[in-house]
Structure 1
Amino acid sequence: MRTAIVGAVLLVLGGIAVATGLLPVPEAVELWDRVWPILLFVVAITVVTELAAEAGVFTVLAQQTARWGRGRAWVLWLLVVVVAALSTIFLSLDTTAVLLTPVVIVMARHAGLNPLPFALTTVWMANAGSLLLPVSNLTNLLAQHAMGDPTPAAFAALMLAPALVAMIVPMVVVFVIARKSLLVRYETGEEDGIEDRVLFWISGAVVVALVPLLVSGLPVWLPTSIATVVLGVVFLVRRRSVLRFGLVPWQLVLLASGLFLFIEALHAAGLATLMATVSGTGESPLALLRLSLTGLVGANAIDNLPAYLALEPVADSPARLAALLIGVNAGPLITPWASLATLLWHQRLTSFDVEIRWSRYMLLGLIVAPVTVVLATLALSATV
């Protein structure tokens, strides 16, 4: 409920900005045109994952992964690291946050392990691991265009060193802080039977079909909306009691709507100009660090996408664009609103009754985000 309250307050503040003329109505309408596909995707993908979880899809995936771990928690964790990295690189950070988080939670519980290290691995890899390919993050696609549309291979060549650093540093931190939970053995436990095999196989097929469609070039809201309708009809026929209003993440939608409107009002008030002023110029190691750290601060203050858009005009070379991406991709590990992936991840945790205090999350992020961004930027400066 606190999420909904914060979202409502931000919507009111944004509404005041529109009513007073601080945020012109045409700009608010343009914002809505950009935002509604994102919000529709959030609703659709959340409903799909909820229904797939009800059908037992994630339970079966988790059980299989637990068997591959062969009773060693650290091996199981490394499997999660690899899968999260591949999912983020090839399918995008939002897909990792939404689809992988339920799997790792169910997997950890099935093995009798603490799910928090696995969940933290997922969200940190989803953000920090999204540097390598254009499809990994929407900011990358924008930067690719600003670079003159290099091929994915050329883009990856530029980003390879910082991407590796950005993936490794947070995972080292996770292992260090969770080593007592990971250096243990586990029993896989008994297999959970599938209650309805028709539901299971149809839900599994929908999820499998959905994954490539998310990177097919189609607007992501379209295949996820179709998947929602398909699963909704199947559940209506076979397990109607599952279909309820609570499947819709209305609190998250309210918060995201409020954030988008409030951030746009801040832009109109001159925040973008201020950020551009402090980001500096040049391609020396210190200049690139200044830009990436400005991106880090901006992402955690106002969300990574508007932070990127605010700073793109001063990132006037491939090296500076790469530094900016390091800041806005690997840096959003501190505040809950720093990226949509983090909000989606937390909504998945809540739906599975896994609690993590935002104060603890932010404290850990304050430690790992600056170190990751600085080291990744130094790796960039050593290779350009």
Structure 2
Amino acid sequence: MLETLAVLALLLAVLGFAVARPRGLPEAVAAVPAAVAVVALGAVTPAAAWAEIRALLPVVAFLVAVLVLAHLCDAEGLFDATGAAMARAAGGSPQRLLVAVFVTASLVTAVLSLDATVVLLTPVVFATAAGAGVRPKPFVYACTHLANSASLWLPISNLTNLLALRASGLSFAQFAAVMALPWLVVIAVEYVVLRRFFAVDLALRAPRAARRAAPVSRRTVALVLATLAAFVLAAVLGLEPAWAAAGGAAVLAVRAMIRRRTGPAALVRAANLPFAVFVLALGVVVSAVVGGGLGDAVAAVLPHGTAFLPLLGTAALAAVLANLLNNLPAVLLLLPLVAPAGGAAAVLAVLVGVNVGPNLTYVGSLATLLWRRVLRGHDVEPGLGEFSRLGLVSVPGALVAGVAALSLALTVAGG
């Protein structure tokens, strides 16, 4: 019992450190000693810890490659050009700008991961709204909500998706086909909620003309599109998507350095290797928590079955755990429990919960914490009360609609 409490305390300490990040220290500063401690306590054997790290390595390698790829897209001006295109499409209308932001953020999240939306697209959206003379709040809130909920579609959209893909037994194409409808439905719910929630802000017409951006090289665009196509091809061939992401990032990196758009130091910073180490260490700590009794407690309340109501219960439990523990530990905890009994359906229900649920609280997702830091860099502090009220309105409806769409998609796909 004492060992279980000690391991749980270590997990909470790691998460608390990740939320606060005192003095800007990387999350790995707390996670690595915690991983060593759970091994020293005997909560997990060295062999089991190494097996957990090896299982996570391909997923983390892909995450690193995508972060570098997103940085290179930014360095080549793709995000700035996207901001200018959104402003032109809006034509001074905040409502049309919200539609443009929703489309852009949903696609960026899907193909370049939620980190690209939070770290790279959010500042562009903020600048686009401010430059057009409209209130930025509806648009930057759309970025953080869509970074989480619009990451449902592709395995490459979110680290949680990559973990779920491995547990589900589905191919890349099967995963994408089943999750396409939940992705669209959840985005639609988010749009309706944000449009009504920020109705006053969206009623003010922009007084300024749309800004222009420098043209983007067609060769750069072609290389990015080729890299994205390689993700799909690698999945079809049964290869790890990390190889495609790394190959595309390497080609773009050489080109960007030749053109002096970036440098080795910037590429290393973009890779965020300390965060990769944090994920691996966190996996070890969570495996100790699961083996220490929390897994049994969660398993006792897990719904069983693949009908709508059991799937909704699974998604709701996943959402609650995401807001208590953060979505990454929640998915690491739940997948080993639901996959053997519920198969792909239960795994994907967990995914709906851990991707949509974090919009309820700041601590639900690391992406949301990153979003807060981005806004603070623009001297904007999102209010906890407003964030929570928006989450209370959007999350329940998005969860129910997302699971209903998942249930329908599974039925069409034959279970």
* Cα drift, residue 121 of structure 1: 1.6
* 1:6–1:380 distance in 2 versus 1, CA, 3 Å: closer
Q: Deviations over 1:120-164 (max 9, x none)?
A: 2233223323445666556667767777648947974x6566444
The alignment status of 1:173 with 2:193, answered yes or no, reads: yes
- Pick one of 11, 19, 32 that aligns with 2:32: 11
Distance 2:69 2:377 in 1: 13
The alignment status of 1:325 with 2:351, answered yes or no, reads: yes
Distance 2:302 2:371 in 1: 30
> TM-score scaled to structure 1, two decimals?
0.76
* 1:214–1:183 distance in 2 versus 1, CA, 3 Å: farther
Letter in 2 for 1:222: A
User: SS state of the match for residue 359, structure 2?
Assistant: coil
Distance 2:54 2:211 in 1: 47
Determine the structure 2 residue equivalent to 1:75. Answer: 96
* 1:346–1:251 distance in 2 versus 1, CA, 3 Å: farther
Q: Where does the alignment leave 5 or more consecutive residues of structure 2 unmatched?
A: 1-20, 235-240
Distance 1:11 1:344 in 2: 21
Residues 90 and 133, structure 1, Cα contact 8 Å, conserved in 2: yes
Residues 134 and 152, structure 1, Cα contact 8 Å, conserved in 2: no
Determine the structure 2 residue equivalent to 1:30. Answer: 51
Determine the structure 1 residue equivalent to 2:250. Answer: 226
Letter in 2 for 1:226: A
Distance 2:28 2:46 in 1: 20
The alignment status of 1:273 with 2:296, answered yes or no, reads: yes
Determine the structure 1 residue equivalent to 2:229. Answer: 212
* Cα drift, residue 102 of structure 1: 4.7
- Pick one of 136, 139, 142 that aligns with 1:118: 139
Determine the structure 1 residue equivalent to 2:320. Answer: 297
> TM-score scaled to structure 2, two decimals?
0.71
Determine the structure 1 residue equivalent to 2:311. Answer: 288
Q: Larger deviation: 78-87 or 202-211? A: 202-211
Residues 257 and 263, structure 2, Cα contact 8 Å, conserved in 1: no
* 1:322–1:67 distance in 2 versus 1, CA, 3 Å: same
The aligned runs of 1:1-384 (5 Å cut-off) are 1-2=21-22, 4=25, 7-50=28-71, 52-88=73-109, 93=114, 96-97=117-118, 100-132=121-153, 149=170, 152=173, 156=177, 162-189=182-209, 191=211, 194=214, 207-217=224-234, 218-219=241-242, 221-223=245-247, 225-227=249-251, 229-230=253-254, 233-234=257-258, 237=260, 243=266, 249=272, 252-253=275-276, 256=279, 259-283=282-306, 285-300=308-323, 301-304=325-328, 305-313=331-339, 315-316=341-342, 319-335=345-361, 338-339=364-365, 341-342=367-368, 355-356=381-382, 361=387, 364-378=390-404
* Cα drift, residue 70 of structure 1: 0.9
Residues 66 and 112, structure 2, Cα contact 8 Å, conserved in 1: no
* Cα drift, residue 363 of structure 1: 5.7
User: SS state of the match for residue 267, structure 1?
Assistant: helix
Residues 303 and 339, structure 1, Cα contact 8 Å, conserved in 2: yes
Distance 2:351 2:261 in 1: 46
Residues 305 and 342, structure 2, Cα contact 8 Å, conserved in 1: no
* 1:257–1:145 distance in 2 versus 1, CA, 3 Å: closer
Distance 1:51 1:382 in 2: 38
Query: Identity of counterpart residues, as a percentage?
Result: 30
Q: Where does the alignment leave 5 or more consecutive residues of structure 1 unmatched?
A: none
Q: Deviations over 1:316-358 (max 9, x none)?
A: 2565445333323322323556456556656665677765467
Distance 2:143 2:206 in 1: 20
* 1:369–1:310 distance in 2 versus 1, CA, 3 Å: farther
Residues 75 and 261, structure 2, Cα contact 8 Å, conserved in 1: no
* Cα drift, residue 19 of structure 1: 1.9
Q: Larger deviation: 9-18 or 237-246? A: 237-246
Residues 128 and 329, structure 1, Cα contact 8 Å, conserved in 2: yes
Distance 2:171 2:224 in 1: 31
Residues 59 and 162, structure 2, Cα contact 8 Å, conserved in 1: no
Distance 1:311 1:366 in 2: 28
Letter in 1 for 2:191: M
Residues 307 and 328, structure 1, Cα contact 8 Å, conserved in 2: no
Residues 92 and 209, structure 2, Cα contact 8 Å, conserved in 1: no
* 1:278–1:287 distance in 2 versus 1, CA, 3 Å: same
Distance 2:379 2:67 in 1: 15
